[in-house]
Structure formats: structure tokens, C-alpha cells
Amino acid sequence: MRKLKVGLSALSFIAGGLFAASAASTPNTGSSAAIDIDFGGVGGTNGQQIYRVFGLPVATSNTTQVVDVGGSIVDTDGAGKIEGVAFVTITYPGTGTNGAAAGTATFIVDTTGNITSKGNPGVATVSMNMKGNGYSQDANNVFSGASLSLKFTGTATADNTFAGTLNGSVKLGSKTITGNTTDSLKAVPAVITDIGASSFSVSAQIVEFNTKFWAGGEMADFVPFSGSGTTKGGNYTANLKGIGSGKGSSVKLTGATTVATNGFITVGTNENVPVIITIPGTATATGKVAGQKLNATGGVAVID
């Protein structure tokens, strides 16, 4: 009997299930590939934006204070939780000589909050609480202890901002700046412009063996995940769980499989033999990403 000699590339070929077995048995099959699943992109028919917050809200029509955020570190995790800290100075315009300020208040501000979504399709909403401690300084250089407590609520807009209102108070510790020890803010229009907006998509490396597969990669361009799934009768189901900074995100993918070519190899004297792999072909995605309800349809997968 003549023996067939194969190299390592051919072994991969065989593991991919590309050689037919006898009619009496079904061989094990295995393969791997990098894939991208696109749901239409920003502005596409099936595109869905996933938002993150990186900064603080700023009043848009309040002339009694000028707020300067000297520096901030704000981020949103996979569960939609917002946390951060900022260095903030509030200047109260004065009417004195040369327009000298009536005073200032300077704070370190701790920020907490979350992003959620309501409705179908979901509308992203931000709720953010800001609490700060520091000091105030009036025009005569008199210092007093100061604090602030503010809340912002807003919804995502078409120009990728969160627009809403600020409520709360700034306790100045002195009447010499505004005439009151407390500066109250009620339904002051404000906007968060420092945000991230990504169309939901999936980029993954998949490894499959028979009817099971495992995947790792990134969702919405910023949520790392690990997951697994099964195929049956030309369809598949997969569950993806956010890990690390993406923990809290959870997505279910369903759809039809497709057979794709993942490169070519040489087996013996046979050149350009296609490597075939079964991958998700279409996709519907449901779940939550960064606290926001997900219902994306019409996804199409391609080998990267």
C-alpha cells in the first residue's frame, strides 16, 4: 500500500474537515478564522450606536457662572457605570473695576453615574452625580470652605452629545461672592460633548470543533469579550460575555451559518486547495452593552 506523506499545513487541512470520510463514519472537523460582523454601521439601516461618557456636563445658557474643567479622568465600563474625577474652577463674573471677578470656587469633583436606555429602539440616557470639595475666594482674597453637589440627566442627540439639565447647589461658604452662601442651580440646560459613540459590531477570532465553537474579541470597538456557541441545521447560537473593562456587557447572537474560504494551502502536488470553514453568515444581536439595550438586526459576517 502506498503511504501518503503530508506536511504540517496538510494536517491543518485535514483537521479542517476538508477530506471526505467513508460513508460509514463522520470525521471530526476543526478550523479557525478571524471574522467581522457588521450591522450596517453608523447611519446604516441596522446600525445602533453604543455610547460612552468621558467628560463632565457644561451649562449652555447660564450666565451667572463660568465653569472651567482644568482636567478630568472619566470613563464608562461594560455595565454602563460612569466613574471619574475632575479639577473644576467656577468663576463668578463681577461688576467691579475692569470687570474683576466677584470670586471663584475651586474643587476636586468625584463623578458617578450610569448610562441606560429605554424604548425600542433604545434611547441612551445619562444620569451623573457630581460631588466636590474645595474652597472659595472672593474679590478681597478671603477664603472659605466650599462644596458642590450637582446632578445631570440627559439623552443622546443626533450630533453625538448628551443634552439635558443640571440641578443642585454650590455652597460657597461666604455671602461676599454672590450675596448668598449657596448658589442654587435649577434645570440649567447643559451638555456633555466629550463622549464616545460606536456602531455595534463584532470582531472576533473563532475556533470551532465539530458543532461547537469558541470566540474572543471586541464588541462595539471597545468591549473585550469571550464567548462560545453551537451550530445545528445551518443555524447557530452564541453567547458573548464582556470581560475586564467590558464586564457587565452580555450579548446573544443568532443567525444562519455560511461556508467560507479561509485562504489556500498546498497538499502534496495539489496547489491552491481552499481551506473551508463554517462561520456565522447572518446575525441578530440582543442583550446589553455598556448598560444600553441592544437589538441589532441584519448583521453580515465576513472573514477578516
98 falls within a domain: yes
Nearest CA-CA partner of 83 in 55, 43, 61, 49: 55
Confidence (pLDDT) at 261 = 75
285 falls within a domain: yes
Q: Is-contact 265 98, C-beta < 8 A?
A: no
DSSP at 4: P
33 falls within a domain: yes
Does 72 lie in the same domain as 17?
Answer: no
- C-alpha cell at position 46: 441596522
Does 185 lie in the same domain as 74?
Answer: yes
Does 42 lie in the same domain as 110?
Answer: no
Q: How far is CA 197 from CA 220, 224, 303, in A?
A: 9, 16, 25
Does 190 lie in the same domain as 101?
Answer: yes
Confidence (pLDDT) at 242 = 97
Residue 252 in this model has a pLDDT that exceeds 90: yes
Report the chain's terminal Cα–Cα distance, integer Å. 42
> Of the candidates 197, 226, 261, which is a domain's last residue?
197
66 vs 147: CA distance, rounded Å: 16
Winning range, highest mean pLDDT, from 4-18, 177-191, 251-265: 177-191
Q: How confident is the model over 207-217, as a mean pLDDT?
A: 93
Confidence (pLDDT) at 26 = 56
Confidence (pLDDT) at 63 = 64
Residue 6 in this model has a pLDDT that exceeds 70: no
Winning range, highest mean pLDDT, from 24-33, 44-53, 109-118: 109-118
- pLDDT, tens digit, 9 for 90 and up, residues 276-285: 778 889 999 9
Burial code (b: 16+ CB inside 10 Å, e: under 16) for 170-184 equals: bbbbbebbbeebebe
Does 180 lie in the same domain as 94?
Answer: yes
Confidence (pLDDT) at 289 = 96
- pLDDT, tens digit, 9 for 90 and up, residues 152-188: 999 999 889 999 999 999 999 999 998 899 999 899 9
Residue 22 in this model has a pLDDT that exceeds 50: no
Average pLDDT, the chain: 84
Q: Is-contact 165 152, C-beta < 8 A?
A: yes
> Of the candidates 163, 197, 231, which is a domain's last residue?
197
Does 133 lie in the same domain as 177?
Answer: yes
List phi, psi (to 5°) of 218. -140, 140
3 falls within a domain: no
Q: Say if residue 234 is exposed, middle or buried (CB neighbours under 10 Å; 0-12, 13-18, 19+).
A: exposed
1 falls within a domain: no
Confidence (pLDDT) at 79 = 96
Nearest CA-CA partner of 151 in 124, 174, 132, 172: 132
Structural domains in the chain (count) = 2
> Of the candidates 167, 197, 227, which is a domain's last residue?
197
Q: How confident is the model at residue 5 (pLDDT cuts 50, 70, 90)?
A: very low
Does 250 lie in the same domain as 156?
Answer: no
Does 255 lie in the same domain as 143?
Answer: no
Residue 266 in this model has a pLDDT that exceeds 90: no
Confidence (pLDDT) at 24 = 44
Does 29 lie in the same domain as 62?
Answer: no
Confidence (pLDDT) at 268 = 67
Does 131 lie in the same domain as 108?
Answer: yes
Does 211 lie in the same domain as 174?
Answer: no
- C-alpha cell at position 212: 461547537
Confidence (pLDDT) at 249 = 97
Q: Is-contact 68 91, C-beta < 8 A?
A: yes
205 falls within a domain: yes
181 falls within a domain: yes
Residue 15 in this model has a pLDDT that exceeds 50: no
18 vs 276: CA distance, rounded Å: 7
* pTM for this prediction: 0.79
List phi, psi (to 5°) of 272. 55, 45
42 falls within a domain: yes
Q: Is-contact 264 276, C-beta < 8 A?
A: no
200 vs 126: CA distance, rounded Å: 19
Q: How confident is the model at residue 106 (pLDDT cuts 50, 70, 90)?
A: very high
Does 230 lie in the same domain as 156?
Answer: no
Nearest CA-CA partner of 229 in 136, 159, 301: 301
For residue 209, the enclosing domain spans: 8-48+200-303
